[in-house]
Each structure stands twice: as C-alpha cells, then as structure tokens.
Amino acid sequence: MSVSSFAHHGKTPAAVIPGNWQENYATRSGAQNDTIAAQRRSEADRRRRYTIAKNYHGLTVGTAAKYGALAAGFGGVAGFFALFFFAEVPKVRDDIMKKIPVLDKFFTHEIPPEDNPF
C-alpha cells in the first residue's frame, strides 16, 4: 500500500513498512537477518508469537479496566460537585450534610430569637 493511496482521507500513515511486514514484526530484534537463528526456532515457537487478546467487540479486560477507572473518577467528581452544589437545599442539608461529622456544625443554621416572628 503506498502513501499516495491515503491522500484522499486527509491523513497519511506514520510509516509504510515495505516488503513482508509479518517477517519484520515476527522476529526478535536483530535476528531477522540471521538465518541460522531462524532455522533453530521450532514451529511451535513461530505459532506462539501472534496471539489475539480475548475481547468483546474489541474491548479487552485491560481497556475495560482503564475506561472503568476513568469513568469512576469522573463520576466521583460529579457526585462531589452535585452534593456541595445542592448543599443549601434544606432536605439535602438536613438529611446528608448534617450527618457528616466534620461538617455538621457548619450546616446547622440556628435562627436567633430576635429574628423569630413567633
């Protein structure tokens, strides 16, 4: 595949590997020109080199863990923001914020007797 065939997409590949790309990637570094080392490798060793990770629609366990940790971080920050954004709503203040040991005095609002109309 030549670089000119990608021109209509607006992007060009980083590198186009000439020749047999499988041979370039299949061998250990420095051993691709060494025919003796290539002959010594067993057929089982050659078959073992290429493996496809177990996936579900292209999503592997590693990528799922990465995306899960990212989503958990964003969710935690969003929940923390929502909690303190709605902290002055009386229901949230009384049911949630006053039950946090450090913040209970901060969210306790006492009306002074002179401001009480009754």
Domain boundaries, the chain: 1-51
Residue 36: CB atoms within 10 Å: 7
* Confidence at residue 110, expressed as pLDDT on a 0 to 100 scale: 85
* Confidence at residue 38, expressed as pLDDT on a 0 to 100 scale: 62
* Confidence at residue 44, expressed as pLDDT on a 0 to 100 scale: 58
Q: Please give the biggest Cα pair distance in the chain.
A: 100
Radius of gyration of the chain (CA): 32
Cα–Cα distances in Å, from 31 out to 36, 68, 87?
Answer: 9, 40, 65
Whether this model's pTM surpasses 0.75: no
* Confidence at residue 14, expressed as pLDDT on a 0 to 100 scale: 59
What letter represents residue 45's amino acid? D
* Confidence at residue 31, expressed as pLDDT on a 0 to 100 scale: 47
Q: How far apart are CA 46 and CA 37, in angstroms?
A: 12
Q: 73-101: b or e for each residue (b if 16 or more CB lie within 10 Å)?
A: eeeeeeeeeeeeeeeeeeebbeeebbeee
Per-residue pLDDT of the chain (118 residues; tens, 9 = 90+): 555 555 556 666 656 555 555 555 555 555 455 565 666 666 656 666 677 889 999 899 999 999 999 999 999 999 999 999 999 898 999 898 889 888 888 888 888 888 888 7
